[in-house]
């Protein structure tokens, strides 16, 4: 079907789950970026021990919350990795 004639098909039964999936994908992308930034700051010695502890705990809690939300909507974290076609996937698959 040519792109100009495609229509959005929103299934009322899955619209909430699809919206949650999109929001969780954005949150997961931001979580991974924050994690990489935190690791970089630890590597260069830019954080105190207390800050390292706080950042580590925060990232662990966020990861737990993400898994809880995924479970509530019958999603896996892997389901959040959007396929961007020739660009590959949105999220790295190192988890």
DSSP per position, 71-88: HHTT--GGGG--B-GGG-
**Confidence class for position 95, pLDDT limits 50, 70, 90:** very low
pLDDT over 60 (residue 14): yes
Q: What is the pLDDT of residues 37-89, one digit of tens each?
A: 999 999 999 999 999 999 999 999 998 999 999 999 999 888 888 888 888 87
Given pLDDT bands bounded at 50, 70 and 90, which one contains residue 6?
Answer: low
> How far apart, in Å, do the first and last CA atoms of the chain sit?
36
């Amino acid at each position: 079907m040519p792109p100009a004639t495609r229509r959005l098909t929103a299934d009322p039964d899955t619209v909430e789950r699809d919206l949650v999936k999109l929001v969780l994908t954005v949150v997961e992308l931001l979580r991974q970026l924050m994690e990489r930034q935190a690791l970089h700051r630890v590597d260069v010695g830019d954080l105190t021990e207390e800050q390292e502890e706080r950042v580590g705990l925060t990232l662990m809690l966020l990861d737990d919350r993400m898994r809880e939300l995924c479970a509530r909507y019958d999603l896996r974290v892997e389901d959040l990795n959007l396929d961007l076609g020739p660009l590959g996937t949105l999220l790295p698959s190192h988890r």
